[in-house]
Amino acid sequence: MLGHLRFALEGIRPEVQQYFVERSVDGRPFDRDTRSIVYERAKGTDAEEPFGTELDLYESGREFLVPSMAPHAVRSDPPRVRIGGPDCSQPYDMALLNVSAMSFGSLSANAVLALNTGAALGGFTHDTGEGGLSEYHLRPGGDLVWEIGTGYFGCRTKDGDFDEVQFAEKAAHPQVKCVSLKLSQGAKPGIGGVLPGAKVNAEIAEVRGVPQGQTVISPPYHRVFSTPRELVRFIARMRELAGGKPTGFKLCVGSRRQFLAVCKAMLEEDITPDFIIVDGAEGGTGAAPLEFADTIGMPLTEGLMTVHNALLGTGLRHRIRIGASGKVATGSDLVKRLLQGADYTNSARAMMFAIGCIQAQRCHTNTCPTGVTTQDPRRARALDVGDKSQRVQRFQEATVKSALQIMAAMGVDEPSQLRPHMLQRRLDPQTIRSYAELYPQLAPGQLINDAPEAWAQDWHAAHPDHFTA
């Protein structure tokens, strides 16, 4: 009765759901204003509030975007990003905001259906997560990024190795627009995913190629490569097996030296991924050790700037698009990530809010009260696919529109015109610095020609045949 009452109250006042949401899965909350924006946009109602901000604008670490004295008209056609380097024969035009990686198994069938239907309605992509390619990803017709993790679910041999035949067959599906190799996840870099046995029913076991009823633990490392050179060669092999579709990898950045080793391997092999998704350490998950969520991996800002600068410095940036994922929920979030080096963004948690998540923090128990992260058929019925898919579409459309409005206020027409000096951070009550000052940008090819002192040690120590910490 209380569960049904919550839905009734939501109809009377949208903010009621927020009462049930006090902190995020990883302990780092979305503030109440951000949650309100997500809920309101998903429902197609106004997100405007009377009076001014209640934020402390003099708080250290506070950031603000720089408005122009000559703002532009807001463009009506959201730009898209062409994904596809020189070795890609089937390039794809990516939206500025897409559904980030969340697996079937972690999410219910209805949740996957709602997300993919929303993506189909709005013309953006839906990342499958590492849990395999299910009928619920395919049935609505939304564009997909098929993610392959260390468990190779959906393209896995009985011994847990990568199965090229299965991969090629599924990657050929017309809805699969890109394929992505997951190296690590922001919320838990260095360890594999966990799906409790209680959630591994017959259907999920078949999709993943694992035993029913047994807890599924993804290995922390890949079997298909052990060096940077082997990694880039495998990316090329994946692209070949996928018929030339855009192929890339996702990681939470840790060692700058290791990423530079991958860049050196790209240069020596003349092989580049079509995209790299940078996952921030602030990203959420349904299950992770608290110490991993709190203490391992770079936040998205530092990760993005590292990858963007490394690719600039090695002269590879023009061949590779960068995606950003990790707590992207608003138009301002989107704009910040674009000027920090991303070409497009992915959102997971905000998309979950759009389909009804109240962050009850029961993802790993199979008792999600809103039907988002449960395999219990009775609980999953709480998620109305028709209604929630429209909320996903509305949220994405409104957020991209907000980003375009902000860009116009900054005097910018295209994401490519955004620059680091347009975002400023307060270091203390008296000191403000722009991102151009905080994160000096390398010139194209600068690492190869004359590495600056701040990068020289890592650049010279990086080796294409070793992941040296």
According to DSSP, the β-strands at 344-347 and 423-428 are: unpaired
Radius of gyration of the chain (CA): 21
Q: Which region among 25-39, 127-141, 387-401 has the lowest average model confidence (pLDDT)?
A: 25-39
- Which tens digits make up the pLDDT trace of 48-74? 666 667 678 888 899 999 999 999 999
Between CA 214 and CA 205 the distance in angstroms is 9
At 250, list the tokens. Answer: 């996702």
Predicted pLDDT at 25: 32
Q: Which region among 23-32, 181-190, 392-401 has the lowest average model confidence (pLDDT)?
A: 23-32
Distances (CA, A) of 382 to 241, 249, 370, 375, 385: 39, 34, 6, 12, 9
Predicted pLDDT at 32: 59
- Which tens digits make up the pLDDT trace of 255-265? 999 999 999 99
Between CA 150 and CA 208 the distance in angstroms is 12
Band (14; pLDDT cuts 50, 70, 90): very low
Higher-pLDDT residue of 1, 64:
64
Superfamily of domain 81-461: Aldolase class I (3.20.20.70)
Q: Which region among 76-80, 219-223, 295-299, 454-458 has the lowest average model confidence (pLDDT)?
A: 295-299
According to DSSP, the β-strands at 275-279 and 194-195 are: unpaired
Predicted pLDDT at 58: 83
- Choose among 344, 345, 343, 374: nearest CA to 357: 374
At 430, list the tokens. Answer: 């008296």
Residue appearing with tokens 């890109």: 178
Outline where DSSP puts E strands in 149-295.
176-182, 194-195, 216-217, 247-251, 275-279
Predicted pLDDT at 22: 37
pLDDT tops 70 at residue 1: no
Band (252; pLDDT cuts 50, 70, 90): very high
- Which tens digits make up the pLDDT trace of 148-188? 999 999 999 988 999 999 999 999 999 999 999 999 986 66
Task: Please name every residue paired with 226 in a beta bridge, in sequence order, or none if there are none.
Answer: none
Q: What are phi and psi of 325, to 5 degrees?
A: -140, 145
On whether the CB atoms of residues 148 and 171 are closer than 8 A, the answer is no
- Choose among 279, 305, 306: nearest CA to 187: 279
- Per-domain residue ranges for the chain? 81-461
Average pLDDT, the chain: 89
Would you call 205 exposed, middle or buried from its count of C-beta atoms within 10 A (0-12, 13-18, 19+)?
Answer: middle
- Choose among 391, 421, 417, 393: nearest CA to 404: 417
Higher-pLDDT residue of 4, 325:
325
- Choose among 157, 112, 196, 120: nearest CA to 372: 112
At 264, list the tokens. Answer: 């050196």
On whether the CB atoms of residues 228 and 264 are closer than 8 A, the answer is yes
At 357, list the tokens. Answer: 């998540």
What is the DSSP annotation of 207-220?
Answer: HHTS-TTS-EE--S
Between CA 183 and CA 164 the distance in angstroms is 18
pLDDT tops 80 at residue 105: yes
What is the DSSP annotation of 53-89?
Answer: --S-TTSTT-EEE---SSPPPPPSS---EEE--TT-S
- Which tens digits make up the pLDDT trace of 267-309? 999 999 999 999 987 766 666 666 766 667 889 999 999 999 9
Look up residue 291 and give its amino acid: E
Predicted pLDDT at 193: 74
- The residue-averaged pLDDT of 108-132 equals 96
- Choose among 316, 305, 192, 182: nearest CA to 248: 182
At 143, list the tokens. Answer: 């564009």
- The residue-averaged pLDDT of 345-355 equals 93
CA atoms within 13 A on the CB side of 83: 31
Phi-psi region of 367 (alpha: psi -120 to 50; beta: other; left: phi over 0): alpha
Q: Which of 14-23, 112-121, 364-373 has the highest mean pLDDT?
A: 112-121
Q: What are phi and psi of 239, to 5 degrees?
A: -65, -40
Predicted pLDDT at 169: 97
Higher-pLDDT residue of 201, 423:
423
Predicted pLDDT at 7: 59
What is the DSSP annotation of 322-361?
Answer: EEEESS--SHHHHHHHHHTT-SEEEESHHHHHHTT----S
- Which tens digits make up the pLDDT trace of 197-232? 878 889 999 999 998 988 888 888 899 999 999 999
Between CA 184 and CA 101 the distance in angstroms is 12
Q: Which region among 45-54, 147-156, 329-338, 406-415 has the lowest average model confidence (pLDDT)?
A: 45-54
Between CA 303 and CA 253 the distance in angstroms is 5
